[in-house]
Amino acid sequence: MSANISRQTPYLFSYRHLIEFAAAEIVRGNVMKKILVTGAQGQIGSELVTTLRQQYGTTNVIASDIRAGQAEEGPFETIDVTDGKALYDIAKKHNVDTIMHLAALLSAEAEANPKLAWDLNMGGLINALEVAKDLNLQFFTPSSIGAFGPTTPKKRTPQETIMRPTTMYGVNKVAGELLCDYYYYRYGVDTRGVRYPGLISYVTPPGGGTTDYAVEIYYEAVRKQQYTTYIASGTYMDMMYMPDALHAIIKLMEADPDKLVHRNAYNISAISAAPEDFAKAIRKHIPDFELAYDVDPVRQQIAESWPDSLDSTAAAQEWGFEAEYDLDKMTADMLEKLRVKQ
Ligand code: SER
């Protein structure tokens, strides 16, 4: 438990007061105060920064990305996460106590550039973990359904099961889960993470992922009442609406560390759906919506290697994960928000 206590140590307290102060902070779950987010211009990062700023205060959340600029007001740093020293300097400059490391290539893009994916996904991760170790920071990074492979049980995929992914992205995710475990066991870094399903939101589009169709389908439904998907009918994957994904990060980061048995790789899921399920849900609002298929063999093969539906029991039991949005509730909200946006 050293990580979160020592960085909040008020020097004037006696040792006993210190312990009590730290214990009280942890009991209150009040351990996450100044946060550096990498990959902040990405699909998760852009919304996570907004949510964290609402919760912890604008100046307490430092957004960073390799792409310059920022979506909204607040501290922003341009960082290439493969530059470990730059990452360290920024974390130190802002005196952060938490790093949420999101910078990574998604599955289809990683398949197109495997070596780049290794360098960015693994190089960035170990740099961020080193910073967390050296500066005593709490740490979050997402794993994915992509960590599983064709030999994994597809339905109600268990928390602990066969993990032999056949994509570079999946190799990175499995290695990343293990690396986070290692930094916890070896150095006591308070590492935590979830295996995200495909994430759906109306704010920032994803890029280079296999599950991206499940976002595009909504944009095109509103724009053209028609969508051509690159994923074949009958291909099920786990999905989740962004508010549930963001809520999960905060809940996990504030969870009692003593309860976290599977700390770096919790299965979480809300929806298991194939393209035709999205079409059916959309037709409840746009009856003339048409779905066509033009299957991309690369992304189809990736999708077929992933689970149909994850079992999130461990996350529910260990830190109270629950999803608010099912397919119908998410669809109603997505379409309503996109109609206003477009
Ligand atoms: N949404 C991601 C992708 O499709 C999976 O983690 O690559």
pLDDT of residue 70: 59
Within the chain, what is the greatest distance between any pair of CA atoms? Answer: 70
pLDDT of residue 109: 95
pLDDT of residue 69: 73
* Pocket flag, ligand 1, residue 198 (CB < 6 Å): yes
Residue 169 alpha carbon, nearest atom of ligand 1 = 7
Query: Among the options 15, 56, 88, 169, which is catalytic?
Result: 169
CA of 246 to the centre of ligand 1 (A): 16
Residue 199 alpha carbon, nearest atom of ligand 1 = 1
* Pocket flag, ligand 1, residue 305 (CB < 6 Å): no
- The token duo for 105 is 């290539």
CA of 210 to the centre of ligand 1 (A): 5
pLDDT digit string, tens, across residues 103-153: 999 999 999 999 999 999 999 999 999 999 999 999 999 999 999 999 999
For the entire predicted model, the pTM comes to 0.89
Structural domains present in the chain? 15-196 (3.40.50.720), 199-240+270-341 (3.90.25.10)
pLDDT of residue 4: 42
* Residues ≥6 apart with Cβ < 8 Å to 28: none
Question: Residue 290: what are its φ and ψ, rounded to 5°?
Answer: -115, 135
pLDDT of residue 33: 87
Burial profile 166-189: b = 16 or more Cβ within 10 angstroms, e = fewer: bbbbbbbbbbbbebbbebbeebeb
pLDDT of residue 67: 92
Cα dihedral sign, 31-33-34-37: positive
* Pocket flag, ligand 1, residue 211 (CB < 6 Å): yes
Q: Are 9 and 18 in contact (CB under 8 A)?
A: yes
pLDDT of residue 28: 43
pLDDT of residue 5: 38
Q: What is the DSSP letter of 280?
A: H
* Pocket flag, ligand 1, residue 209 (CB < 6 Å): yes
Is-catalytic flag, 169?
A: yes
- Give the integer Cα–Cα distance in Å for 237 and 246: 19
Low-confidence ranges of the chain (pLDDT < 50): 1-29
pLDDT of residue 310: 97
pLDDT digit string, tens, across residues 239-271: 999 999 999 999 999 999 999 999 999 999 999
- The token duo for 30 is 């009040």
